[in-house]
Structure 1
Amino acid sequence: MSQPLNIIFAGTPDFAAKHLAALINSHHNVIAVYCPPDKPSGRGKKLTACATKLLAIENNIPVEQPQHFKESENQATLINYQADIMVVVAYGLLLPKVILDAPRLGCINVHGSILPQWRGAAPIQRAVEAGDLETGVTIMQMDEGLDTGDMILKATCEISPQDTSASIYDKLSALGPQALIETLQLMAESKHQAEPQNNALASYAAKLHKDEAELDWQLPAKTLHQKLRAYIPWPVAQFTFTDDKQKQHRIRTWQASVVEGNFSEAAGTILHVDKTGVTIATGEQALKLEILQLPGKKALPFSDLLNGRAEWFQKGQSINGLGK
């Protein structure tokens, strides 16, 4: 076994915490954990620590929470740890060159895509939305660009037709830590090879926004189904239903399936209703909505929703409102 590395870890959410846990359980030494300052959360706006900070405290690891690395004081604090390497997983702060160059082996990042595809903030969601058949994690040597560094190791997994961003997140949460430990072993023994990315093959995974979640029935059913799966657990695909009193209801869609066939009805028209779901005409083929959530309610199978809201879902009417 190689000599243990002294590691600075930088990350924020649960995905990052799973990688931190793997490092803590390895023979390497995590000498500091960097994460953003605590943020107000909940109705009381109480300051809440992120997952990585909680794990660090539990394991008596020093925690640093700078707002940024523009100030020389914050830079000096990190440099003084004299780390062998810095591991970055979903951290959220830009690292200037002085930080990237501080550890002996530089900084590496665990990115949730097969680079150079889906550089950016939402690689898992954009891969599902695009209908990709596989994804994975890439361990790269960080540079000053946005996910542009040389690639050290890749690990891949399938995206099935049933996968959502949430399920892919779980897959990568298991895949990533293993790939990270393997990469550190290679780097500790100077056996790693870094491969430059082909920028011509790069794509950008823009951050998700709430307004993307509105279902556009003019799109093909396959495209809608991919979007629906991509937006779980957030922001969740939805449509606006207007009842007979002209009150609008935002209805979230948690599960659906594509119904093949040629349909002459206008997009957004209800084609069929039964206990298993409501089938909607789209720009191409149809989409069957199977699990829905009314405002302020739990997500329910369509059969439960049909018991109380049958008048909302009548064959021939628009899914967006009565009489439309």
Structure 2
Amino acid sequence: MVYAGTPAFAVPALEALIDSGYRVAAVYTQPDRPAGRGRRLRASPVKTLALEHGLVVEQPESLRDPAAQARLAGHAPDAMVVAAYGLILPPAVLAIPTQGCLNIHASLLPRWRGAAPIQRAIEAGDEESGVCLMEMAAGLDTGPVVACRSTSIGTEETASTLHDRLADMGAELLASTLNDWLAGRIGASDQPAEGVTYADKITTEEARVDWHMDADSLARRVRAFNPWPVMRCHRDHSPLKIWAAWAMPDPATTAAPGEVLAVSEEGIDVQTGDGVLRLLQVQASGGRAQAVADFLRGHTVHVGETLL
């Protein structure tokens, strides 16, 4: 077995392979990247786990390089399991494992193919999400599906909480399915042609609050972009991050979008293009994330001021 993954989402599945007794010949993960204030190189969560278990770690910059492909072939994998690896697997790589490549994808395919299925599901207001095991093909998350498991999306669900639940679900689904798939006891079904949506990569520009949007959409973005990139606005020319908020009905005011309507320990109410967004947890520049009640002990927010 060869495993390919990089972030925390991919850790439980590798743990499941190890615990199930599969011989993991190599673990592929992205190269160490600069992180933190010192910008020192940091190993990925998957690499950290692999080294703890004494596994061989491979970190090619690309799998399009013939030398990297030859090295992968040298591990002679029967199968390859992939979860949030972050590098494209070209057809030449997909052909190396004799029994194929299996991907753990964090959505109910064909909805939310692509880079950010967890965040886009919350942002869109989906009522459920899930994980699918998919046989990998040349297209973007287009391969036939082996198995899926679903879960509801809570009304206060953030990308962080849903991410962790789906990571564990993916590992459990892999552990309960992989052996039967390898033995040919279960097959895969083509994805439906209807219902295909794409989860574009999240950008920091999207995290800038547009107060002309409606309150429901903004509240979903706050949850979808927690823990990254975190929605933010500007107050007194200084950034203010919004970690938690909920939408409230429009109070029939003539206030302009971005205007503060009320301030209390329960929250800071801000007019939007339709409805009111109550800020519940915020973070000032240089500070830490705080409940509004704590934030107001060190900051004065006035009714009538405008957040930009």
When normalised by structure 2's length, the TM-score is 0.95
SS of structure 1 residue aligned to 2:299: helix
Against the structure 1 CA distance between its residues 70 and 307, is the aligned structure 2 distance closer, same or farther, given a 3 Å change threshold?
A: closer
Give me the whole-angstrom Cα distance separating, in 2, the residues matched to 1:249 and 1:76. 52
What is the match of residue 289 of structure 1? 279
- Pick from 126, 144, 163: which aligns with 2:120? 126
**Secondary structure of the equivalent of 2:30?**
coil
Query: How far did residue 141 of structure 1 move?
Result: 0.3
Q: Post-superposition shift, 1:63?
A: 1.3
1:258 to 233, 236, 247: 247
1:1-324 mapped onto 2 (5 Å cutoff): 7-242=1-236, 248-265=237-254, 266-310=256-300, 313-320=301-308
Residue 262 of structure 1 and its aligned partner are, at CA, apart by 4.1
CA contact (8 A) 1:263 1:281 kept: no
Is the contact made by 1:225 and 1:258 (CA closer than 8 Å) also made in structure 2? yes
Determine helix, strand or coil for the equivalent of 1:271: strand
Which stretch has the larger CA shift, 272-281 or 131-140?
Answer: 272-281
What is the CA–CA distance in structure 1 between the aligned matches of 2:67 and 2:227, rounded to whole Å? 39
**Cα distance in structure 2, aligned partners of 1:308 and 1:66:** 48
Q: Give deviations 1:66-117, integer Å, cap 9, x for gaps.
A: 1112232221211122211100111111111121111121101001111111
Q: Is the Cα contact below 8 Å between 1:75 and 1:99 reproduced in 2? A: yes
Larger Rg: 1
Quick one: distance in 1 between partners of 2:94 and 2:161? Answer: 32
- The one-letter code sitting in structure 2 at the alignment partner of 1:308 is G
Say which SS state the counterpart of residue 246 (structure 2) adopts.
strand
Paired residue secondary structure (1:255): strand
For 2:209 and 2:280, the matched residues in 1 are separated by: 15
Give the deviation of 1:50 after TM superposition: 1.1
Distance 2:114 2:124 in 1: 15
1 CA distance for matches of 2:71 and 2:64? 12
User: Residues 210-254 of structure 1, C-alpha deviation per residue, up to 9 Å, x if partnerless?
Assistant: 111111111111111000000100110111112xxxxx1100011
Mapped partners of 1:170, 1:202: distance in 2: 24
SS of aligned partner of 1:199: coil
Taking a change above 3 Å as real, the CA distance of residues 316 and 309 of structure 1, as seen in their structure-2 partners, is same
Further displaced range: 51-60 or 257-266:
257-266
Taking the aligned partners of 1:44 and 1:72, their CA distance within structure 2 comes to 34
Moved more, 29-38 or 256-265: 256-265
CA distance in 2, matches of 1:93, 1:306: 44
Question: Which deviates more, 205-214 or 48-57?
Answer: 48-57
Q: Which moved more, 1:267-276 or 1:42-51?
A: 42-51
Distance 1:298 1:159, change over 3 A: same
Counterpart position of 1:3:
none
Question: Cα RMSD over matched residues?
Answer: 1.4
Whole-Å Cα distance in 1 between the matches of residues 292 and 215 of structure 2?
18
Maintained 8 Å contact 1:31/1:61: yes
**C-alpha contact (below 8 Å) 1:262/1:284 kept by paired residues:** no
Amino acid at match of 2:241: R
Q: Amino acid of the residue matched to residue 268 of structure 2?
A: V
- Tell which deviates more after alignment, 39-48 or 197-206: 39-48
Describe the shift of the 1:251–1:194 C-alpha distance in structure 2 as closer, same or farther (beyond 3 A). same
Following the alignment from structure 2 to structure 1, what is the Cα–Cα distance between the partners of residues 69 and 295? 56
Question: C-alpha distance in 1, partners of 2:39/2:298?
Answer: 36
Letter in 1 for 2:81: V
